[in-house]
Amino acid sequence: MLYREIFRNFKIYFLLAMIFMSLSGYSRYFFSALYSLDPLAYSTVSVADILKFAFMMIFLGSFGLALLSSMFDVLILKKLLINTSPKIALSIGIPAQALMIILIVHILDFVYYYTLPWIYNGPVSPNELTENMFLIVHLIVAVSISKVFIEIDRKLGPGNLWKMLSGKFIKPREEERIFMFIDLKSSTSFAEKIGHLEYSRFLQNCYQDFSIVDRYRADIYQYVGDEVVVSWNPKKGTDNDNFLKAFFAFTDLLKKKTDYYQKEYGITPYFKAGANIGPVIITEVGDIKREITYHGDTLNTAARIQEKCNELNAQLLISEPLFKLIKNKAAYKIDDVGTIHLKGKGKDVRLYRVAQLNS
């Protein structure tokens, strides 16, 4: 899960660092004497060699900065934001990021000094700090914009930022998706018992634990109060039965943390879920506030299936089309609960109760 988040952040950092380091090189070449080489020696250097060297420097710098920054964000800064105040996290995060940029610039100086002689026979000397300010300023801008893009990408869902910018969601289009509605049982009584402020903290903890579904290729579509809606494209969702493993990984984690939740809030979270597969419409809606939304009977049916969990004494209910796609049925306890009428549906739907064999 961590490596996937690091990789998502890395891609954004790397792309923008490449762009701004290229702009930095262009600026320094035309507006400073930094890249002025001895004319006699310069005449012996081919344009291709110069471009290769420039690309190597830009690639190394961008790769190093992207790797350090993405690892720091996921492994350190994220935990600081959860466990401390934002002020403390920022007071540590900003200087740390500045040190990363300075470190990368010094590494590039070292590479510049020892590799440029391979293609250039003139004098080479390390860059002065004032000369490196072009690069430092550009990298500060690159990192700042990257962090904004990363937050937007997290808000929209991984990968959706680029699709949105490319206009992929402007026109409604149909695609096949698995949808799962996951709801907290007894949420009203929990809120009354511990109060709304503590209940909000409780939900934050549950949703932090819910991030475990990222290991199983799940896309978190919405948080709606005490309910989470997740989806998969059919290939990712059925591969290795990811849509089942994701839910049970979450519930298993909550079981392991029972003592923690009892100590912190005096309650134990229990989530139930309903899942369905079928065609949905995906599009971008809104003007002042834009959002990527899914529409269709597939979602409505999944929501209605989840509502039947209490009545059918089930923690997870799935539709018949989804049942047929389970690859390893022997790994689960699956009961056919029959054809059930769902609110708002003209036709009855055959449902299956799914549980872990060891639960």
Q: State residue 130's pLDDT score.
A: 58
Average the pLDDT over 213-233 and give the result: 91
Q: Is there a contact between 252 and 270 (Cβ–Cβ < 8 Å)? A: no
Dihedral of alpha carbons 151, 156, 162, 164, sign: negative
Evaluate if residue 213 carries a pLDDT over 70. Answer: yes
Packed helices 242-256 and 196-210: angle between N→C axes, nearest 10 degrees? 130
pLDDT digits (tens, 9 = 90+) for 261-306: 999 999 999 999 999 999 999 988 877 777 788 999 999 999 999 9
Q: What gap in Å lies between CA 110 and CA 127, rounded to an integer?
A: 9
Dihedral of alpha carbons 88, 90, 91, 92, sign: positive
Evaluate if residue 170 carries a pLDDT over 70. Answer: yes
Q: What gap in Å lies between CA 300 and CA 333, rounded to an integer?
A: 26
Q: State residue 269's pLDDT score.
A: 94
Q: State residue 359's pLDDT score.
A: 54
Length of the chain: 359
Q: State residue 124's pLDDT score.
A: 60
Q: Is there a contact between 315 and 309 (Cβ–Cβ < 8 Å)? A: yes
Which residue, among 75, 61, 164, has the nearest Cα to 112 in the 3D structure?
61
Q: Which range has the worst mean pLDDT, 59-73, 118-132, 224-238, 332-346? A: 118-132
Residue 217, sorted as left (phi over 0), alpha (psi -120 to 50) or beta, turns out to be left
Name beta bridge partners: 283: 293
Q: State residue 44's pLDDT score.
A: 58
Q: State residue 39's pLDDT score.
A: 47
pLDDT digits (tens, 9 = 90+) for 289-299: 777 889 999 99
Contacts of 306 (CB under 8 A, 6+ apart): 181, 182, 183, 272, 273, 274, 317
Query: What domains are there in the chain, each with its CATH number?
Result: 2-158 (no CATH), 169-356 (3.30.70.1230)
Q: State residue 40's pLDDT score.
A: 45
Evaluate if residue 322 carries a pLDDT over 70. Answer: yes
Average the pLDDT over 10-17 and give the result: 92
Give the residue with greater pLDDT, 206 vs 41.
Answer: 206
Q: Which amino acid appears at position 38 of this protein?
A: D
Contacts of 150 (CB under 8 A, 6+ apart): 8, 9, 12, 13, 73
**What pTM was computed for the model?**
0.77
Give the residue with greater pLDDT, 32 vs 308.
Answer: 308
Q: State residue 128's pLDDT score.
A: 61
Which residue, among 213, 218, 217, 186, has the nearest Cα to 202 in the 3D structure?
186
Q: How many helices (H) and strands (E) does the chain have?
A: 14, 8
Q: State residue 98's pLDDT score.
A: 92
Buried b / exposed e along 113-140 (16+ C-beta atoms within 10 A):
eeebeeebeeeeeebeeeebebbbebbe
pLDDT digits (tens, 9 = 90+) for 65-116: 999 999 999 888 888 887 777 888 888 989 999 999 999 988 888 887 777 7
For 259, the token pair is 């003592």
Contacts of 313 (CB under 8 A, 6+ apart): 353
